[in-house]
Structure 1
Amino acid sequence: MLFPAAPELFLQRMISAAMETPHLLYALLAAACSHHSRLIKDATPHPKVTCLKYTNMAISNLRETLQDPSQSLKAETVTTAMALCTNDVCNGNMHVWRTHLRGVLRLLAASLRHQRELYSLEDSFLLSLAKWFKTMDIIAALSGLDGECIHDPEDSLLDRGSILGSDSDFIDDICGYSLDLIPYMARISKMVRSQNTSQISADISLIDAPSAQTMNEAEDLETGIASLIDKPISGSSFREGEVFVTELQSTHLAFVHSTLLHLHRRVQQLPIDHVKVRTDIRNILDAIGNIDPKSTANILILWPVFSAGCETTFLSERDMIRERMGIMENFGMGNFTRTRDLLERFWQSKTELRWDEHFARLGLELVLF
């Protein structure tokens, strides 16, 4: 459900590994319990108790496994940690997910180094885990004022070449967008964070006006991001059929134009009615419109949908976003419900603050994953 465009081999490897790895099986069962309770909208304590049981079993078994250095370097161990962390995010456990994601990074980095020392060929499953980590890390960093990537984008271990290999020129089918976009997203996150003051207040002049140097850098970033619009589809993706290709291209475009929107609004601080901002929103909505509302590809585009929703004052566009998010919520993914609630709250506030300033002032945190 999290990665609807992922290759079948990714799913098969994860399920087969779980059959032989208790801590991974427990972690996936915990995630399945959480997902099922959201899917059927069960608010009783029973699913939470069941999820907690499997989570505790996964953590206990994982701790035992980590005592053995040879076991801690396995891809299955990284997968367990990543699944537990993702479940934290989907369940809104904001106070623990960062700690767990840092643990994932340590395990993932150790596994990648070990594998590269022993083998000349990369483990495609391990590289898929790296993409899973990278996309959660960058989206979390862009989900507020104080976001910061847990993995240093300057570290080459998980860079574009390492995790993409021969598929580096194509739209990625794990994340739904070209991973060439990630360095630009990371830079925007860093620039937003550097503009943020240490004091969060109600003052709408919360963020300092961008400097000339920032504006020049933003123009360079804009050119680089726009160059990714026409990223091609890989041959393996083409074999999945025309609908798959159209939706993968559309998720990619939604992310590209959302990145431009964040650059224009949060770095350059252009007004909400600026022609560039309005163009970004229309492009995002056009991309979303090319994805069937009932397609699982919608699971990938929470960040673009929320980004467009926060930056439009047009009722027709808000209604479109409200309708799409309602449909997306029916897939049972946790942050869709929380995100829609916060978006409605933001609209009702009629605040002149940007969404990230508004939520920071209220002490609210959200990961758009």
Structure 2
Amino acid sequence: MPLVHQPLLNHSPYLLSEESRFLMHTFATQTAQMLFPAAPDFFLQRMISAAMETPHLLHALLASSCSHHSRLIQDSGPRSKMICLKYTNMAIAGLRAALCDQDQATKPETVTTAMALCTNDVCNGNMKIWRTHLRGVLRILMALLQHQRVSLKLMDDPFIQCLVKWFKTMDILAALSGAHGECIHNPGNGPLNGLSDYATWHVDEISGYSLELIPTLAEVSKLASQIRPHASGETEEDYSPSLETMIQAEDLESKLFQLFDRPVCDETLSRGGSLALELHGTHLAFVHSALLHLHRRVQLHPKDHIKVRADVQNILEALSLIEPHSPMNILILWPIFSAGCETEESEERDTILARMGNMQKLGMGNFTRAREVLHRYWVSGSKLPWDIYLAKLGLELVLF
């Protein structure tokens, strides 16, 4: 069912051009579902409704729609790029103006605009500016939450909860995707951790896994960044984890084993279809990928180690719970890419390439770049961990 109806477009207080109407329709019927394939309807409906009243958010969503549509039809021509740049610049100008107005600066719509722009940077491969934008999002989000503390109960608004989860998901995946290993926001002890126990216990519909996993993912990533080889050419064989590191790793491994069995919420079950089963698959894929990251990057086991082989096979088993062409595959780029980097089995590689290729056809630019980098890594035969290999080549991915 479309997330925005024609009367909503017709009654927008802002006159939409034919181009804008087409792009907004595309966002509502295609782009939104690609960015958030399992999100509750209220989140996307409110985002789109708010855009009809908020020019800077409207322009951010139009830029996102334009980028996605261009990738979908494989149009990389100058006209398409100029249209996307036009709406991006309009969104940025409107966002700056909103941030100068105290009332506008603390509205959820302002955070949504910043997050939409940042996400579009990642999908378009604009690596030079996305992290700056993500830090900006954090500042705006913190201002919003401070305003909520004064006027309402913190995190009482489910839409704001979704915004926080959107930010936390991108932040942790950025930390896991590169050599820096640090989250912008501390997920273990910070002001963004006001989500209810109910929300964290269940598999989340924004991230695709239980939010209980995020602090442990952050610990694994941080520990790996402290002991991993440098981009100067050393391999993991030149390093051996300390006794303290090994103890920490065993503790993290125990924590991860306790996170396998997480249910979906009743509301998700009520939506029917294969959603619940596929969310179970995305959650398992992330837990097994966290174990893979721990075994390969912290404990420095080789690819043929029994634990590493089991991790890869378990990720692929979780993948089998998700239909090959389902948009739910979009949630698990990090697990798919990680498994691909750690296997030398041709059948497993073919499965992974096929899934990533399906998501490319849905217009997801981050899958396109990840698939190209994965193939390049295979061809190189490099013994370096994939994140170090990318850093050495000056490449950067955000597996979101």
Same-fold status (TM-score > 0.5): yes
Which of the numbers 160, 176, 190 marks the counterpart of 1:156? 190
Q: 1:25-57 deviations in whole A, cap 9, x for unaligned?
A: 000000000000000111211111100000000
Letter aligned with residue 157 of structure 2: D
Alignment of 1:1-369 (within 5 A): 1-120=34-153, 122-159=156-193, 162-196=194-228, 199-205=230-236, 208-369=239-400
If asked which structure has higher relative contact order (CA below 8 Å, sep 6+), I would say: 1
Distance in 1 (CA, whole Å) between partners of 2:382 and 2:264 is 41
Q: 1:270-306 deviations in whole A, cap 9, x for unaligned?
A: 1111111111111100111111111110110111100
Distance in 1 (CA, whole Å) between partners of 2:244 and 2:389 is 26
Q: Is the 8 A contact 1:229 1:253 kept in 2?
A: yes
Distance in 1 (CA, whole Å) between partners of 2:100 and 2:188 is 31
Distance in 2 (CA, whole Å) between partners of 1:285 and 1:266 is 20
What is the CA distance between 1:233 and its match in structure 2? 1.3
What is the TM-score of this pair, normalised by structure 1?
A: 0.97
Q: Is the 8 A contact 2:56 2:95 kept in 1?
A: yes
Q: Over aligned residues, Cα RMSD in angstroms?
A: 1.3
What is the CA distance between 1:71 and its match in structure 2? 0.7
The alignment partner of 2:274 has SS state of helix
Letter aligned with residue 287 of structure 1: A
Gaps of 5+ in 2: 1-33
The alignment partner of 1:201 has SS state of coil
What is the CA distance between 1:81 and its match in structure 2? 0.3
Q: Is the 8 A contact 1:144 1:356 kept in 2?
A: yes
Q: Is the 8 A contact 1:200 1:360 kept in 2?
A: yes
Percentage of identical aligned residues: 59
Q: Is the 8 A contact 2:236 2:300 kept in 1?
A: no
Letter aligned with residue 120 of structure 1: K
Give every structure 1 segment of 4 or more consecutive aligned residues whose post-TM-superposition deviation is greater than 4 Å: none
Q: 1:335-364 deviations in whole A, cap 9, x for unaligned?
A: 000000000000000111111121111111
Letter aligned with residue 145 of structure 2: L
Q: Is the 8 A contact 1:195 1:207 kept in 2?
A: no
Q: Is the 8 A contact 1:170 1:231 kept in 2?
A: yes
Gaps of 5+ in 1: none
